[in-house]
Chains A and B, each alone.
Chain A
């Protein structure tokens, strides 16, 4: 996308958008190329790797939470079995 196209969608000025894009380019989150007199910006495809890393961290955390909940549930189940077994005794 050209700067003008991006700016048209945003409530900030075109120079401000250019400045943001410069920061993003330096952070290697977008890349740009010359197209005639215009500079076209695109998000780097490597972003996919970042998405994957983000989801990898997310699922690791989530499954740890699942394992903890499972451990708690297993313990409660054993307690219930022990209690009901206890009730049968004189």
Chain B
């Protein structure tokens, strides 16, 4: 696993012992089997994640589905090209809320390259500066009920660090 960053993007690569098609399917269609449990946009108060769904075409939605049936769409497919490439928009603000304005969403591009018997998965999360505007729109972060509490706990942690 390696890490690389430029000013407005984040890059991570990982090598897995699956063929590109299998790696692609795992990444795209069984997302809930590997996505960090504590990073869901779905409201899981008194609820649980059932699955994550990727509609397999450009323009398709990516959404979490709860056991209760509630859904939360947090991304859109930009490129669906099995088994070589998958790209999606990141419709999430820096304070982990859904971004409705598509112009203020960054992009995640994932490529799957054959690597011996396995696959090299390269992920680039780019155009982060589009969210940069979000950092200035602090009103949005603090203007909602409880916003101060959420925001401040992060600030306190940052201040303590």
Contact = CB atoms under 8 A, between A and B. Distances in A.
Interface of A: 1, 6, 9-12, 20, 23-24, 26-27, 29-30, 42-45, 47-48, 50-52, 54-56, 58-71, 73-74, 77
Interface of B: 1, 3, 5, 7-10, 12, 14-18, 22-23, 26-27, 30, 33-36, 39, 94, 121, 123, 125, 128-129, 131-132, 135-136, 138-139, 142-143, 145, 147-148, 152, 155, 158-159
Which 4 pairs show the lowest CB-CB distances between chains A and B?
Answer: A70-B16, A27-B159, A47-B135, A69-B34
B121 A63 contact: yes
Interface of B is mostly: mixed
Contacts, number: 120
Nearest to B117: A74
B152 A55 contact: no
Contact of A62 (B36, B142, B145): B36
Given A30-B138, A58-B36, 8 more contacts: A1-B138, A47-B132, A51-B131, A51-B132, A58-B39, A66-B16, A70-B34, A73-B22
